[in-house]
Amino acid sequence: MPKVYIETMGCQMNKSDTERMLGMLEHFGYEETKEPKEADLLMVNTCSIRQLSEDKAFSLLGLWGKWKKESRPHIKIGICGCVAQQKAEEVFKRAHYVDFVLGTHKIYSLPEIIKRINNGEKVCECAETNQTEDEKAKEYSIDRVKAVNAWIPITEGCNNFCTYCIVPYTRGRERSRQPELILKEAKDALKQGFKEITLLGQNVDSYGKDFKDKSYRLADLLKELNAIEGNFRIRFVTSYPTDITDELIQTAKDLDKVCEYFHIPMQSGNSEVLKKMNRRYDRETYGKIVAKIRTMVPDVTITSDFIAGFPGETEEQFRDTLSAIDEFELDYSNTAAYSPREKTVAAKWVDKFIPEDEKIERLARLNEKVRENCLKSNKKYVGREMEILVESFENHKGKNIITGRTRNNKLVHVPCETDRTGEFLNVKITGCKTWYLNGEIVD
């Protein structure tokens, strides 16, 4: 049996694509290996959100190319994901040992591509499409990573064109997957023992906007998923601030399986910067949305993303980002220093670029603020009793520990002698650190 190794970089969307590509390859006789040196087919599923992610992909390809040249001429090398979509044929110039380039739009062409490269061809499949690949998706099973949570994409692509972001260029226009297929994938995952379903999209709240034959939105999908029998949880990411409707908040609150968790990237706390980012809200509007959710959904966790050092960002504007984290009590935020991306609007504002050392310095202050608020947020739960879904069991410094997640997405470490992965347990929160809570099982 030929062996395949896939290195996955980037977001959950890529992780989900990898699970689908492995499912396909297994159908055609490949076996997955976790050891790249054993593989006959090596693939890297790439991310291009920042320059660093792109560089990482090419340096891995370089290493594999060396193996191929020096000792293992028979191996085949492929690149897929967002860098592949963006660079297409250019990849061959930079890395001539690559056998195929597969973009993000047509992952189901993979079996055909493998046939062609095995006949000695070099293949580049990066055509864009404005349709989902629902029909093809039905033909193959998904080789999901063994875990408690199953990721299910509900939309692909993005129409927002934030001025810093490459995703609309690498993932194309927004397309919603059919509800029947999503429900089927959820039921299959639950049958396999998964205890949590996370719906994925760049902007989950626009789910269904593009359906011409029906009026069916995220709230409808959540209701249908919630009605599936069994004890499991439902989450959805990512939410675009101004697309979150009252109906959606109410639905999320009312449905017992939908967790009290919203990921709502703000990107900057300053309204002028937000305008230049082409985000369709200002600081005040974002604050109102967060406040509304907090009033309607008790114990809700709200997380965000922020960029430090966007072109032209002044020190004062950057401080608005720090104060927004405080003012809106954001429980946790992903952070990044601005990285110029090919084709995007902001990448052309070279004269406004913030020097590298200043961006790094702002990022460090931003991270410090995130740490501070995360600890503050965790402290609120000390003394409370909460339900966790256990995700893992490990021996840490001589002690057996299970790690689980609360409905509102807090990690909890609990001493436990046996592996309870996949179980729902009630725990009492006894203390906390910056990134997690400590708990004890309540009988």
Choose which of 13, 60, 61, 79 interacts with ligand F3S (CB under 6 A): 13
Q: Under rule CB under 6 A, which residues in 386-405 are in contact with ligand SAH?
A: none
Residue 49 interacts with ligand F3S (CB under 6 A)?
Answer: yes
Alpha-carbon gap, residue 190 to 16, rounded angstroms: 16
Classify residue 105 by its DSSP letter: S
Rg (CA), the chain: 22
Residue 206 interacts with ligand SAH (CB under 6 A)?
Answer: no
Choose which of 204, 307, 354, 425 interacts with ligand SAH (CB under 6 A): 307
Residue 105 interacts with ligand F3S (CB under 6 A)?
Answer: no
Q: Rounded to whole angstroms, what are the CA distances from 243 to 160, 163, 177, 279, 312?
A: 12, 18, 18, 12, 27
Residue 202 interacts with ligand SAH (CB under 6 A)?
Answer: yes
Asked, as a colleague might, if the bond just before 198 is cis with ω within 30 of 0, I would say no
Residue type, 31: E
Residue 13 vs 102, nearer CB to ligand F3S: 13
Residue type, 89: E
Residue 48 vs 155, nearer CB to ligand F3S: 48
Residue 374 interacts with ligand F3S (CB under 6 A)?
Answer: no
**Minimum CB distance to ligand SAH, residue 164 (Å):** 4
Residue 47 vs 244, nearer CB to ligand F3S: 47
Choose which of 177, 233, 341, 413 interacts with ligand SAH (CB under 6 A): 341
**Minimum CB distance to ligand SAH, residue 91 (Å):** 21
Q: Are 85 and 168 in contact (CB under 8 A)?
A: no
Residue 265 interacts with ligand SAH (CB under 6 A)?
Answer: yes
Residue 353 vs 436, nearer CB to ligand SAH: 353
Residue 289 interacts with ligand SAH (CB under 6 A)?
Answer: no
Q: Under rule CB under 6 A, which residues in 153-192 are in contact with ligand F3S?
A: 166-167, 170-171
Please identify, among the stretches 8-16, 58-66, 347-355, 394-402, the one whose residues bind ligand F3S according to the rule CB under 6 A: 8-16
Residue 420 interacts with ligand SAH (CB under 6 A)?
Answer: no
Residue 107: which of ligand SF4, ligand F3S, ligand SAH, none does it interact with, CB under 5 to 8 A by kind?
none
Alpha-carbon gap, residue 244 to 293, rounded angstroms: 10
Binding stretches for ligand SF4 (CB under 6 A): 158, 160-162, 165, 167-168, 202-203, 240
Residue 13: which of ligand SAH, ligand F3S, ligand SF4, none does it interact with, CB under 5 to 8 A by kind?
ligand F3S
Q: Are 117 and 123 in contact (CB under 8 A)?
A: yes
Which tokens in the block code for residue 152?
């299910």
Which tokens in the block code for residue 18?
């990898």
Q: Under rule CB under 6 A, which residues in 151-170 are in contact with ligand SAH?
A: 164-165, 167
Q: Is the dihedral of CA 407, 410, 411, 417 positive or negative?
A: negative
DSSP H or E segment with residue 76: strand 76-81
Q: Rounded to whole angstroms, what are the CA distances from 54 to 138, 186, 200?
A: 31, 32, 23
Q: Rounded to whole angstroms, what are the CA distances from 258 to 98, 232, 245, 247, 386?
A: 43, 9, 16, 14, 16
Residue 81 vs 269, nearer CB to ligand F3S: 81
**Minimum CB distance to ligand SAH, residue 50 (Å):** 5
Residue 14 vs 206, nearer CB to ligand F3S: 14
Residue 6 vs 308, nearer CB to ligand SF4: 308
**What is the CA angle 137-7-97, rounded to 5?**
100
Burial class for 367, CB neighbours closer than 10 Å (0-12, 13-18, 19+) = middle
DSSP H or E segment with residue 169: helix 167-171
**Minimum CB distance to ligand SAH, residue 237 (Å):** 9
Give Cβ neighbours of residue 427 (< 8 Å, ≥ 6 apart).
385, 386, 387, 388, 404, 412, 414, 439, 440, 441, 442
**Minimum CB distance to ligand F3S, residue 26 (Å):** 23
Burial class for 268, CB neighbours closer than 10 Å (0-12, 13-18, 19+) = buried
Estimate to the nearest angstrom the gap between the alpha carbon of 233 and the chain centroid. Answer: 18
Which tokens in the block code for residue 78?
């492929």
Per CB under 6 A, residues contacting ligand SAH are: 49-50, 164-165, 167, 202-203, 238, 240, 265, 267, 305, 307, 336, 338-339, 341
Per CB under 6 A, residues contacting ligand F3S are: 10-11, 13-14, 47-49, 81-82, 166-167, 170-171
